[in-house]
Copies of this chain bind each other. A is one copy, B any other.
């Protein structure tokens, strides 16, 4: 199909290739596909309707999953009194450089921060609401906006001073329940990220230096981006009794004793949308996995003045046939050429395009084009629903399998520092034994720029030498530069 020139054609094409300038490619794809735009506030972004529709897909799936497993939604104020943040000094210090404060309206009022996360304000309320074991477990989630006044430059979705996320905060009567909860939420994130976003992750604990301020330990999901950098897709924290002691969350247990409660918190943010663009996109733009795509099937009618009525009518018929089964849209705008539309919907990453022209109508078929591999084939209208179901599943699987191959091919074992350094330099994720000391971790970071994305304990008999100091260890760490 020859592409007809249009006065707006420039909007629907990228000016740079993914392999040549990844960073510029990412900026263009996010903006031109209509996911997000820079805001006139330094370090902030506007999530545009198409990007927000992706977020709604993520929300829809995760929200159902959380509710199915006992979580309720609520809303706490964006304002956090300074004295709350200070109550847990480790937590406070972890956020200090990024906290934004509001100007005092009244000298008598205290100083309020904009939430960098909501542990403190939620746990103050929890301490009032929880009295007995009968009030537990308590599982509350918030979908809200978070403010962290980052100094580094904006990267749309990845590093902005305000972003959207969900934060879940649970309270339990035993530490064991806590451990199960932390794992459950990490598993739900993994399922979301791998089976919906089609992005494979490495899952493991954070090292102490990367653990959430105030937590016993943090489980993180780490994905590998095409430029060799790690991107954290979600975290789940076991808070132990730490915050419960600071905020006085106590409950009367079945045995008649007052005890401090056990807690977890976990979050997943709009930065996952950035990962989605980076992992699957190509030189034509976004490539969205069908299960997260706001539009799964785009119908493009191809007509001239003579055939217009007939083709549009047939397009409408096909749309009605697919509605309710797929997220389908008919692009019947008269002011754009088919070629321009092909470009635009490819840029937006719609998984499947259906073309309908006069010849197709005669043959009772449509032409189906896959976004992920460009494969084009005619499909009889009669078998269209079945064929689409099969194709969308195939696209979903192909995207995941390609991303997994990339992750596997770019995650390499380093048996010593020299190998680790070379891997990082070559934009790989390095698997290496690590003795567990902050000294070795710090030295590696200083010399290679890579941080420990997560760690895994080896099974019983395996062990090896720390890539830095050479000490025997059972801990495998995943090293990469990070967003």
Those of A62-93 within 8 Å (CB) of chain B: 72-81, 84
Those of A8-41 within 8 Å (CB) of chain B: 37, 39-41
Q: How far is the CA of A68 from the CA of B40 in the complex (A)?
A: 31
A241 to chain B, nearest CB (A): 22
**Is the C-beta of A203 less than 8 angstroms from some C-beta in chain B?**
no
Q: Say whether B100 contacts A74, CB under 8 Å.
A: no
Contact of A102 among B48, B100, B134 (CB under 8 A): B100
Q: How far is the CA of A103 from the CA of B55 in the complex (A)?
A: 30
**Is the C-beta of A105 less than 8 angstroms from some C-beta in chain B?**
yes
**Is the C-beta of A56 less than 8 angstroms from some C-beta in chain B?**
yes
Contact of A40 among B39, B46, B78, B84 (CB under 8 A): B84
Give the size range of A's interface with the partner.
Answer: 35 or more
Contact of A46 among B39, B125, B134 (CB under 8 A): B125
A127 to chain B, nearest CB (A): 11
Q: How many monomers of this chain does the complex have?
A: 2
Query: Which residues of B have CB within 8 Å of A194?
Result: none
**Is the C-beta of A480 less than 8 angstroms from some C-beta in chain B?**
no
Q: How far is the CA of A79 from the CA of B161 in the complex (A)?
A: 10
A405 to chain B, nearest CB (A): 34
**Is the C-beta of A253 less than 8 angstroms from some C-beta in chain B?**
no
A88-113 CB mask vs B (1 if < 8 Å, else 0) is 00000000000011110100010010
- Beyond A78-B162, A79-B162, A102-B103, whether A41 also contacts B73 by CB under 8 A is no
Q: Say whether A75 contacts B102, CB under 8 Å.
A: no
Q: Say whether A333 contacts B75, CB under 8 Å.
A: no
Q: Say whether B73 contacts A140, CB under 8 Å.
A: no
Q: Could you say which of A142-150, A295-303, A354-362 contacts chain B?
A: A142-150
Those of A102-138 within 8 Å (CB) of chain B: 102-103, 105, 109, 112, 114, 121, 124-125, 128, 134
- Beyond A46-B76, A75-B164, A162-B79, whether A103 also contacts B101 by CB under 8 A is yes
- Beyond A37-B125, A40-B81, whether A72 also contacts B49 by CB under 8 A is yes
A389-408 CB mask vs B (1 if < 8 Å, else 0) is 00000000000000000000
Q: Say whether A75 contacts B46, CB under 8 Å.
A: yes
A402-428 CB mask vs B (1 if < 8 Å, else 0) is 000000000000000000000000000
Q: Say whether B52 contacts A75, CB under 8 Å.
A: yes
Q: How far is the CA of A40 from the CA of B112 in the complex (A)?
A: 11
The 23 sampled A-B contact pairs (Cβ below 8 Å) are A39-B125, A40-B124, A41-B112, A45-B77, A46-B74, A46-B75, A46-B125, A47-B75, A49-B72, A49-B73, A51-B74, A52-B72, A53-B73, A56-B73, A77-B162, A78-B78, A101-B102, A101-B103, A102-B103, A103-B103, A105-B149, A134-B333, A134-B335
Question: What would 10 more interface pairs be, CB under 8 Å, given A39-B76, A41-B80, A46-B125?
Answer: A39-B125, A40-B124, A41-B77, A46-B74, A47-B76, A78-B78, A78-B145, A100-B102, A100-B103, A101-B102
Q: Which 3 pairs show the lowest CB-CB distances between chains A and B? A: A49-B72, A47-B75, A44-B77
